[in-house]
Each structure stands twice: as C-alpha cells, then as structure tokens.
Amino acid sequence: SQTIHQWPATLVQPVGSPLSLECTVEGTSNPNLYWYRQAAGRGLQLLFYSVGIGQISSEVPQNLSASRPQDRQFILSSKKLLLSDSGFYLCAWSPGQGYTFGSGTRLTVV
Amino acid sequence: AQKVTQAQTEISVVEKEDVTLDCVYETRDTTYYLFWYKQPPSGELVFLIRRNSFDEQNEISGRYSWNFQKSTSSFNFTITASQVVDSAVYFCALSDVDTGRRALTFGSGTRLQVQP
C-alpha cells in the first residue's frame, strides 16, 4: 500500500537555529512531492514541489530550501530559522491526480 | 493564475442543521480537478472528494453532497444533519493538470463549529 511518513510531529526551535524536516513515501515510484505551510489560522501555501530526483521548484521566496536526494524522500531545510517560519508544515505526494498528505510538523520558532 | 475563494471564514450551527460551505474558483485551464479536504483539530488533512472539470454531476456520499457548477465556477459542499464530529476546518482546492506542477491551490478554509 502507499503511505507517507513525515517527522517530527512537533518541533520547538530557537531563532537562528537550523531546520531539517523529512518526508518519505512508500509504495510508489516517481511521485510529485510537495511541501506546504499553514500559518496559524490561515490556508495552505505551496512552498516547494518536485517532479523528480534533484528537481526542486520554489513557489515563494523565503528562508527555506528543499531537496530530493532520493526518489521517495523530500527534505525541507533552513540554515537559520526566523520567527516567521513558525507554522504547520505538510508534505504531500501525488502519483497522478490524487494527493495524499503527511500528518504534518508543527514548528514553533522561539 | 489559479485562485480559490472561500468567503465564509467561520460558520456555527446547531447539531442536525444542514450547512453549505461555499467555494468559488478561478482558472484558465480547461482541464482541472477540484477537491474538498477536512482538517480536524489534530491537523491532518482528510480527503473528502475529487471532481474533474468535465464531470458536473452532483455527488452524494452519506450526509455529504457536492454541487459543481461550471457556469458559476463554484463547487459547494453541503453537510446534511450536521454532527459535532463534523466540526473542523474545511478546505476547497484546485489542481492544475496541464502543467507538470500539478499542485493544489487552496482556499483559505472555512471553520465549521457544530454545537450540541
């Protein structure tokens, strides 16, 4: 079966610290992968998407970066977190016209 | 550019009432998909329905029904006989098909509170 794993579930990080969020999918190959962010009380904003290994497209300028070192692995990173990076981060994958979301990471930058 | 508008920020109803959540979208694509997701307090996104742009038939699933009207670019969601467990934030979303991106554009969400 096809599943998506995202961790950690919650994270509290100080301003200026690095960040690494990981997302992996199972049971599929060559999916489109996505990182979304949801600020408190807001909708979901697409941050990055990837159509293949090493192929990353950024939707909005920001303090974050993404990488796809393997077909089913998608990583969201930052070298130095800002307060404005706080939010709920969701990874998603799409093999076609359906979308499955991970359980999310709630990031609080203090 | 694609856009999804959910004008209702928050709706509060009493249990057993019917409630309709509105969704209006904008796209230049001729082929696209529309979605509804439920986000309970735990945060995960629960898939409810997907509808492609060529299928304007309304759909009913239990207490849930969806009305897709291409002429008004709307894809509204009705919950019949609402229950407390329906309390959540509901998102309407639009997917592009004609590009490799195939990403979802979300509306800002409607928070539904069902009071007992």
Average pLDDT of chain B?
Answer: 93
Helix, strand, coil percentages, rounded to 5, for chain B: 5, 55, 40
**Whole-Å CA distances, A59 to A39, A42, A48, A56, B42:** 16, 17, 6, 10, 26
Query: What DSSP state is assigned to residue B85?
Result: G
Q: Is residue B107 less than 8 Å (CB to CB) from chain A?
A: yes
Write the pLDDT tens digit of every residue in B98-113.
777 788 999 999 999 9
Please count the other Cβ atoms lying within 10 Å of the Cβ belonging to residue B20: 13
Residues of A in contact with B109 (CB under 8 A): 42-43
B114, pLDDT greater than 90? yes
CB pair distance less than 8 Å for A46 and B97: no
| Average pLDDT, integer, range A96-102 | 83
At B35, the pLDDT band (50, 70, 90 cuts) reads very high
CB pair distance less than 8 Å for A99 and B52: no
| Average pLDDT, integer, range A62-82 | 95
**Whole-Å CA distances, A73 to A7, A25, A86, A97, A102:** 12, 7, 23, 20, 13
A97, pLDDT greater than 70? no
* CA B58 and chain centroid, separation: 13
Choose the closest CB to B102 out of A32, A88, A100: A32
| Average pLDDT, integer, range A101-108 | 94
Percent of residues, chain B, with pLDDT higher than 70: 98
